[in-house]
Structure 1
Amino acid sequence: MATPSFCAIDFGTSNSAVALPQGDAMALVPLEGAARTMPTAVYYYAEGAHDADGPPRAFGRAALAAYVDGHDGRLMRSMKSILGSDLLDRHTDVGGGRSVKYADVVSGYLKRLKRVAEGAQGGRALTHAVLGRPVYFVDEDPARDAQAQAALEVCARAVGFEELSFQFEPIAAAFDYERQARCEQTVLVADIGGGTSDFSVVRVGPQRLRLADRRADILGHHGIHIAGTDFDRRVALAGPMRALGHGSLGPARADGPAREVPSGITFDLATWHLINTCYTPAVVAEMRLRKADYADPAEHRRLMTVLEDHLGHHLADLAEQGKIDLSGSDGRRAAEDQHDFDLGLIETGLHWPMQRGEAQAALAEDVAAIAGAAQETLRRAGLASVDALYFTGGSTGLTHLVEAIAAPFPQAQRVQGDPLASVAQGLGIHARRVFGG
């Protein structure tokens, strides 16, 4: 019986990757030029004719470029966050009088990954796939978590995958780490991405590398729905959103203390998958009527500029860059002591400074929760310590987050995996075991 045509897909909140068989190994597919990962982003153009695949769209870096260049349309990111929510079956406006179903946004992106991967192997159709999944799509809700995986399966089957298998992302990362393990070890894998922080304790070693059944080696796993996009939101709310009134008090009142200005709108503007909901005519009209709730008219004026000019994603990009600069998490330079948010698109000459200590304070609660999840994983595994810590995922560049996770394990070896590719490589290893014959 011929080996099926298979791949492994790491469908991430921020970035995605695909692994294909290459000889006796698995290799990541170049998805955009030489880049082996692609931003999980789709840009729907407001103008242009439909083709066989649907409305005119750009994917990945091209989608982000279309947004930055100011094309008329709509940028969609963090699509993974939609899984398990009641948004999945709803339609959303993408400009030009068009609307699309959120589920079709996910399917369309998966179809793009599949098409590029098929092109990389000479056009042979891919029929089998391993897909990564977080430990929990939805925290503390098994029913919705199962619903999220089922929804992802429906989307994957809709683009032509006939056989699917799922694997936890941190366990896949452990398989990637195992290739360099020189002896049997217990490793705590910390996979901190854009949407979830996932942990697994796995027994690895050169003698276990080719075992088909690894269930006995998975000693414990746990995760929480806090990660990179939550850090961005925290930084946005503690920084540039304050220029829009977040945290400010309204005018003095004769019948009691001044009330805080509306915060729901700034929370939504700081949450990637909710930003576009802030631009509906009903929301804009409501916030226009809330002017009297602001003691400082400039704060309300700036908020309305953001809503009317659709600058929410611009603010989100500024917050992400501020987080990177204040933590040094791009690995190329030391963390800044202060970051200056340039808000000139909102108001000419407007800037908002933020100190590194302010950013760390804004992230403290999330960092503590993630470090606590790591400890809970050890408890579930019945262990007091591990031999090694393996860090992967884009958010493991935050030094103080890594230090918080590692602090209880001073004797453990620390290893930094490929932040964006370790999970995909491990999923590829698993895919070969499942489908490779």
Structure 2
Amino acid sequence: MSALHAGLDFGTTNSTLGLCGAAGAPRLLALEGEHRTIPSALFFSLEDGRTYFGRAAVHEYVDGAEGRFMRALKSILGTKLMGETTLVGRERLSFEALIGRFLAHLKGQLDAAAGAPVERAVFGRPVRFVDEDDAADRRAEGELASAARAQGFSHVEFQFEPVAAALYHESTITEERLALVVDIGGGTSDFTVVRLSPERAKRLDRRDDLLASTGVHVGGTDFDRLLNIAKMQPLLGLGSESADGKRRMPVWYFNDLATWHRVNLLYTPKIVRDAEDMVREAAEPEKLKRLVHVLRHRSGHRIAGAVEAAKIRLTDEPETAIRLAEPELTLEAPVARAEFEAAVAELVERIGGAIEAALETAGVAAEAIETVILTGGGAQVPAVFQAATGRFPGAEIARSDAFGSVGLGLAIDAARRFR
């Protein structure tokens, strides 16, 4: 049995692996070269038959290699899609098996680093995989546990991701603090009110210190989706009318094309034929011709990647442009931060509501919060940052490791549980 204890943060957008010895400080395992995060992405190449992971998967897809690209698989947990299969090359695979492929890749690196098979791990999970459906939420955790066990993790336990981030922050403080953890991930946002201190950190049972945890199914990919729908999908025909002016083009094609985990479902001969029919019927056929190109050349994730990159730039820039250029297709849409914030206002409002619910459940006023711990890439979005911190003017704002604090905290938790 390995002397290293593992915490695995399988994220919608990125994943990390934390390691902790019995008495040592936690660290993140380098997963791609020196990178300690890995995009939660797979590419099944039809050219060389290999499966690529992380940045290598993204590179193969963006470079135009023939194959199947998949990302944001965590978003499928607990949904009806988990009961379906999808064609990958000549093989039909379940979505649990696809998640398993990614976990197997991480476990191979974990075992190599530990020098022995690692059979026990603490996995992170959002407070809510699925909003307002307890059965689906339980099912999602079970599906992730099943995928992990199939890859050799015989003992799987779970910890809420914001709690893990709090455990990591707790290892850095010298006095007791009442904290709110704001974890804005790729697919979910979680909020935890917790008491932290060096003394409390020694306890194995922290239930009395956790005053409230709430979650909402809103994350970075949702921000991407709404920006995509607002700025890029109209270039492909969203909102266009038929030539006779009697109806608009069906919207579900465009909604799915803007949703990371549904893009691949559009790449079928039937949907391409449907799009070709819309070209003949449309008042703006040139836009629908672009849609046909995107479907034929499987460019949907490249558009989504361009949208995501523009969203990130808007963190520091008041305006930018979303650009995609490939043979026979060029798309460009200018976007100002104010436009982006208008497009995602409903998401920011839901985040603010979930924070208020956490405070209400904990029975504490906003003025009582002494530290706000921010983690997750989505917390960098200015509108989200304001929603998360604006109601706590007297609190210390702790910008935790945006992508690594959950994995580090899970490793700390694993060392406590398994020692």
TM-score past 0.5 threshold: yes
Aligned to 2:133: 141
The farther-off stretch of 177-186 and 300-309 is: 177-186
Aligned to 1:94: 88
Distance (Å, rounded) in 2 between the aligned partners of 1:251 and 1:48: 44
Aligned to 2:64: 70
Give how far 1:293 is off.
4.8
Give how far 1:323 is off.
0.8
Q: Is the Cα–Cα contact under 8 Å of residues 306 and 346 in structure 1 kept in the other structure?
A: no
> SS of the counterpart of 2:326?
coil
Give how far 1:4 is off.
6.6
Distance change (3 Å), C-alpha of 1:353 and 1:64: same
Distance change (3 Å), C-alpha of 1:293 and 1:338: farther
Aligned to 1:380: 361
Aligned to 1:411: 394
Q: Is the Cα–Cα contact under 8 Å of residues 276 and 289 in structure 2 kept in the other structure?
A: no
Q: Is the Cα–Cα contact under 8 Å of residues 18 and 407 in structure 2 kept in the other structure?
A: yes
Amino acid in structure 1 at the alignment position of 2:355: A
**Residue 162 (1) aligns with residue 150 (2):** no
Alignment of 1:82-121 (within 5 A): 82-95=76-89, 97-121=90-114
**Residue-by-residue CA offset, 1:278-298 (whole Å, 9 max, x unaligned):** 111122222222235522111
**Residue 183 (1) aligns with residue 183 (2):** no
> SS of the counterpart of 1:161?
coil
Distance (Å, rounded) in 2 between the aligned partners of 1:60 and 1:213: 35
Aligned to 1:352: 333
Alignment of 1:262-411 (within 5 A): 262-328=250-316, 335=317, 337-345=318-326, 350-385=331-366, 386-411=369-394
**Residue-by-residue CA offset, 1:94-142 (whole Å, 9 max, x unaligned):** 23x33322111111111111110111122x0101110000001111000
Q: Is the Cα–Cα contact under 8 Å of residues 4 and 435 in structure 1 kept in the other structure?
A: no
Q: Is the Cα–Cα contact under 8 Å of residues 136 and 145 in structure 1 kept in the other structure?
A: yes
Aligned to 1:331: none
Amino acid in structure 2 at the alignment position of 1:390: I
Aligned to 2:35: 35
Give how far 1:59 is off.
0.8
> SS of the counterpart of 2:121?
strand
Q: Is the Cα–Cα contact under 8 Å of residues 174 and 197 in structure 2 kept in the other structure?
A: yes
**Residue 201 (1) aligns with residue 189 (2):** no
Amino acid in structure 1 at the alignment position of 2:147: C
Output the TM-score relative to the length of structure 1. Answer: 0.91
CA root-mean-square deviation: 1.7
Identity of aligned residues (%): 40
Distance (Å, rounded) in 2 between the aligned partners of 1:326 and 1:301: 30
Distance change (3 Å), C-alpha of 1:103 and 1:140: same
Distance change (3 Å), C-alpha of 1:183 and 1:414: same
Distance (Å, rounded) in 2 between the aligned partners of 1:3 and 1:75: 34
Amino acid in structure 1 at the alignment position of 2:95: Y
Distance (Å, rounded) in 1 between the aligned partners of 2:330 and 2:43: 30
Give how far 1:249 is off.
3.7
Distance change (3 Å), C-alpha of 1:72 and 1:350: closer
* Aligned counterpart for 1:424 among listed residues 402, 407, 411: 407
Q: Which segments of 5 or more consecutive residues in structure 1 lack a partner in the other structure?
A: 50-55, 329-334
Give how far 1:275 is off.
0.3
Amino acid in structure 2 at the alignment position of 1:269: L
Give how far 1:245 is off.
1.8
Aligned to 2:230: 238
Q: Is the Cα–Cα contact under 8 Å of residues 4 and 114 in structure 2 kept in the other structure?
A: no
Q: Is the Cα–Cα contact under 8 Å of residues 43 and 76 in structure 1 kept in the other structure?
A: yes
Distance (Å, rounded) in 2 between the aligned partners of 1:209 and 1:235: 41
Q: Is the Cα–Cα contact under 8 Å of residues 72 and 260 in structure 2 kept in the other structure?
A: yes
**Residue-by-residue CA offset, 1:213-258 (whole Å, 9 max, x unaligned):** 10100100001111100000011111111111223344454xxxx5
**Residue-by-residue CA offset, 1:287-328 (whole Å, 9 max, x unaligned):** 222235522111111111111111101110111011111222
> SS of the counterpart of 2:81?
coil
Q: Is the Cα–Cα contact under 8 Å of residues 19 and 408 in structure 2 kept in the other structure?
A: no
Amino acid in structure 1 at the alignment position of 2:99: V
**Residue 21 (1) aligns with residue 20 (2):** yes
Q: Is the Cα–Cα contact under 8 Å of residues 2 and 117 in structure 2 kept in the other structure?
A: no
> SS of the counterpart of 2:350?
helix
Give how far 1:168 is off.
0.3
Distance (Å, rounded) in 2 between the aligned partners of 1:57 and 1:236: 28
**Residue 151 (1) aligns with residue 143 (2):** yes
Give how far 1:6 is off.
3.5
Distance (Å, rounded) in 1 between the aligned partners of 2:389 and 2:339: 23
Distance change (3 Å), C-alpha of 1:191 and 1:266: same
Aligned to 1:52: none
Distance (Å, rounded) in 1 between the aligned partners of 2:337 and 2:361: 35
Q: Is the Cα–Cα contact under 8 Å of residues 129 and 431 in structure 1 kept in the other structure?
A: yes
> SS of the counterpart of 2:18?
strand
Q: Is the Cα–Cα contact under 8 Å of residues 272 and 313 in structure 1 kept in the other structure?
A: yes
> SS of the counterpart of 2:19?
strand
* Aligned counterpart for 1:58 among listed residues 31, 52, 66: 52
Distance change (3 Å), C-alpha of 1:241 and 1:408: same
Distance (Å, rounded) in 2 between the aligned partners of 1:129 and 1:20: 10
Q: Which segments of 5 or more consecutive residues in structure 2 lack a partner in the other structure?
A: none
